[in-house]
Amino acid sequence: MESPTAVRQQRQIEGERYSSSILSSHAEIQCLKPLVKPLLAQNDVLLDSEFFLSSVSKGWKPRVVTVHKRSELAGVVYTKERTIFGCRLGVVYADLSWGSILFGDPFHQPNVFRIALETLLVFPGIRGLRLRVLRGSPELAGVRNLIASKRFDVHFSRVREHACLSLPDTYEQLLLGFGSTTRHNFRYYRRRFEVAGHIYLERLSLDELISAALFLEPRCRIASKSHSITRVLNMVAAADQPMAVGLKHRNGEWLSVIAGVYRPQAGVLLLQLNNDRKFSCDSLSVVLRGYLIETLIRQGMRELVIWAGTGPPLSRYVRRIPTLGIHLDLPGYQWRLARRFVTTLGPWLPKRFREDAGWIAPIQ
């Protein structure tokens, strides 16, 4: 049984003394909230420890690294380790597209992140890190400092994942920025929806959101995994400001629902479920996103962030968050052999194994 605080390290870089720890228990990670919140410039749910814990679903174990410079908290990095059938894979993942939590002098922030990575890499059983970092960020500088100092197997890739739609001052301005076909569709399907007497609900309770999700899950043309829906609902429930909107048929039947959270100046869309098996000709996704965007603009939000990206028509008008994917692996014959096996044979693996194999090595 591993201890809650499994690794403690002390390092000195450029004359500065640092110490670091890995927290793996929910209780210790929850205790970070009152320490971190006063140090944040803005209250951002994506950097909240309870929100992070709500995102750790079955198949993952939390690994949160804290770094202190002398006695002051210098950074927190939320990561999680992959497990398969209860067994540790030895791979840790962190999505830093939103930034980690690095405090103090920006000059020292790359060193703080580097120490966090070094701490993870000496954690018993860890073989590699899977990172998403912003271009030009202190996190990327920290990774480059680390790989310049020691020998690793490293693979960089471009990641086109989360998407942002900039919001103007009015909904009409947004529509005028769309192409003629997209603009027509947003107006036409919404008008048709309203003429039919259906209802837009701007604020759903958590109970209403859960009820809508359970009803809509089997009625979506594009199936979502039940555990993924449960994970999103847990994340929304953990947020101080949940974002939940929906569409109802005039007879009271759920038509569509969006679940997400608010962050400073942005709404984050985490999940959308549509009753498009029965109402395939009604463009429910377009209708509800149009209503949501109008609501966000009225609230003074400047962006709609769409988690894991979006398809047409909005894909033509969003910008992708400029992110690099980094596979950072400890050198070792057996681990290299396993990664080579996955890279070579991954495309022919059964679909149910391919996702897990992708954590070991990139599959073309």
Q: Which two tokens stand for residue 109?
A: 């922030």
Residue 146, Cβ density class (10 Å: 0-12 exposed, 13-18 middle, ≥19 buried)? buried
Q: Is 132 in the same domain as 68?
A: yes
Domain hosting residue 136, numbered range? 5-160+322-331
Q: Is 60 in the same domain as 175?
A: no
Q: Is 227 in the same domain as 136?
A: no
What CATH number did the domain enclosing 17 receive?
A: 3.40.630.30
Distance, C-alpha 268 to centroid of its chain: 10
C-alpha angle 56-59-62 in degrees, rounded to nearest 5? 40
Distance, C-alpha 77 to centroid of its chain: 14
Q: What pLDDT tens digit does each residue of the chain (364 aa) get?
A: 444 455 677 877 777 889 999 999 999 999 999 999 888 878 899 999 999 999 999 999 999 999 999 889 999 999 999 999 889 999 999 999 887 789 888 989 999 999 999 999 999 999 999 999 999 999 999 999 999 999 999 999 999 889 999 999 999 999 999 999 999 999 999 999 999 999 999 999 999 999 999 999 999 988 777 789 999 999 999 999 999 999 999 999 999 999 999 999 999 999 999 999 999 999 999 999 999 999 999 999 999 999 989 999 999 999 999 999 999 999 999 999 999 999 998 888 888 788 889 999 988 7
57 belongs to a structural domain? yes
User: Using CA atoms, how far apart are residues 293 and 198, in angstroms rounded to an integer?
Assistant: 18
**Please, are residues 285 and 247 in contact by the beta-carbon 8 Å criterion?**
no
Q: Phi/psi of residue 93, each to 5°? A: -120, 140
Q: Is 128 in the same domain as 203?
A: no
| Exposure on the CB side of residue 49, measured as CA atoms within 13 A | 24
Q: Is 81 in the same domain as 153?
A: yes
357 belongs to a structural domain? no
Q: Which residue has the tokens 């929850």?
A: 30
Q: Is 214 in the same domain as 120?
A: no
For the chain, give the secondary structure using H, E and C. Answer: CCCCEEEEEEEEECCEEEEEEEECCHHHHHCCHHHHHHHCCCCCHHHCHHHHHHCCCCCEEEEEEEEEECCEEEEEEEEEEEEECCEEEEEEEEEECCCCEECCCHHHHHHHHHHHHHHHHCCCCCCEEEEEEECCCHHHHHHHHHHHHCCCEEEEEEECCCEEEECCCCHHHHHHHCCHHHHHHHHHHHHHHHHCCCEEECCCCHHHHHHHHHHHHHHCCCCCCHHHHHHHHHHHHHCCCEEEEEEECCCCCEEEEEEEEEECCEEEEEEEEECCCCCCCCCHHHHHHHHHHHHHHHCCCCEEEECCCCCCCHHHCCEECCEEEEEEECCCHHHHHHHHHHHHHHHHCCHHHHHHHHHHCCCC
Residue type, 65: V
Count of domains forming the chain: 2
Q: Is 296 in the same domain as 149?
A: no
User: pTM above 0.85?
Assistant: yes
Q: Give the other-Cβ count within 10 Å of 69's Cβ.
A: 20
Q: Is 92 in the same domain as 223?
A: no
Q: Which two tokens stand for residue 63?
A: 């690994």
Q: Is 193 in the same domain as 151?
A: no
